[in-house]
Amino acid sequence: MATYKKKGHKPSTKDEQQKHVEEQSTTAEVFNTLDEGANKTEEWVASNQKYIYIIVGLAAVVVLGFLGYQRFIQEPKEKDAANEMFQAQEYFDNALAVSGAQSDSLYNMALTGGEGKYGFLDIIEDYSSTNAANLANYYAGFAYLHTNKYQDAINYLEDFKSDDEILAPLATIGIGDAFLQLNQPEEALNYYDKAAEMRSNSFTTPKALIKGAITAIQVGKGEQAVKYLNRIKDEYSTTPEAEQVPIYLGRAQAMK
């Protein structure tokens, strides 16, 4: 028959007594170890209290300094930069609506300023680290692209950093366009491919794919061109780029 230890059961046999003594000893050792650890921690804190206060104080200064910088310096700077860039954006938008010498003039004014207002290059220089300066890199890149200054276009578009669904791939496509104009189709193809993989939307993705397909045909990569064209046909059949697929698909397939 099984036996059970009742509450308050006293060890009766020699073995039970020995086991009881060992358990008590182990428990005592655990508590002694914890007490020793706590005492050592208290001693360390006591002996290093001055340095702890210094570290905590420095951390508080850093946090408060950062918050103050954001509120009293960075935020007003962001607002001023956005206000200053308004005229340059207007020049840029107007340049898109016209052509020829008038367009070039407006793009140049967008870059360097006019009517006493800042241009994109001024924003980049005087308001660095702001969102406006970052966006100015995007506009400046395309202004240079439209005025046939392709290396400058590449430089500024590469400096533009964004996770935006539309602007990020458009900037990458713009770099590809600049390389294509510099007669570097392999580099252009790399950027078109990168832009096509960056996002999946019906605006930028088919643009990158059709440019990539045309460039792939140009450099003799028919299989890659077919892949791009089939993706447009399968995934973006309602876009304007899909209408161009039959024009290039036969040529690409013939190269395989």
| pLDDT tens-digit map of 78-101 | 888 788 899 999 999 999 999 899
The rounded distance, in Å, linking the Cα atoms of 37 and 25 is 18
The rounded distance, in Å, linking the Cα atoms of 1 and 165 is 76
Task: Identify the CA nearest to 106 among candidates 124, 89, 118, 122.
Answer: 89
> Residue 34's pLDDT is what?
52
Mean pLDDT of 72-76: 54
| pLDDT tens-digit map of 149-183 | 999 999 999 999 999 999 999 999 999 999 999 99
Which pair of tokens denotes residue 217?
């045909």
